[in-house]
Structure formats: C-alpha cells, structure tokens
Amino acid sequence: MEFCPKCKSMMVPVKGVSKCRNSKCGYVKEKETDQESLMSKAARSEREVTVLEGNIDQGLPTTSVRCDECGHNVAYWWLRQLRSADESETRFFKCTKCGLTWREYD
C-alpha cells in the first residue's frame, strides 16, 4: 500500500501509474521501471542482522534463580517468541557466574 507524499491519502493503481484518491490533490506517480524495482529489492536483501559478540549480557535484567550447574543464584533473563503468536513467550536464563543457558518450562 502506498500513500500520497503531498496529502497522505491512499494511492490507487490506474493504467500503469499510481494516483492519489483525493481528487483535489491530483498527485500522480509514474510506475517504477524494472531496473528501479530490482535495485530496491537488492537494497532490501542486503540488510544484515548485526550479531553482537563479547559482553552482550550487559544491559540484560537479572533475577534470582538457581543455576543447576554451579549453584549460583543470579542469572540474566530474556524473552523470545519461539512458537506461534497465540502462544506465550519462552523465558531464557543465563547464569552470571558460569554462563550456563537454560529455558523456563511451564
């Protein structure tokens, strides 16, 4: 879905161009050429996810939970949506002493 840059109304496709639905505005956008379309798709596919290494735990909240590996009572925690959206998130823990990572099972 595309919106008019002038009046923010919705644009509708008409005979190879996009026209603003607002008749008072009259903005018309020509259809992108195949080359422009390919370039925008390439730009989207080049987006990379930055993986943090090192002290990524800094800034995570901590909680009081016992580590089965070393017996320490403080761990970092975070939530991840692993299953479908209608199911609850999974809570992960990482021991601040030994680095053991585990998940909480309901």
Edge-first strand order for the sheet with 62-64 is 62-64, 74-80, 90-95, 101-103
Catalytic residue from among 36, 87, 89, 106: 87
Catalytic residue list contains 87: yes
Select which of 30, 46, 48, 86 is catalytic.
86
Token look-up 């026209």 returns 19
Element (H, E) at 92: strand 90-95
53 Ramachandran zone, left/alpha/beta (phi>0; psi -120 to 50): beta
Q: Mind telling me the catalytic residues? A: 86-87
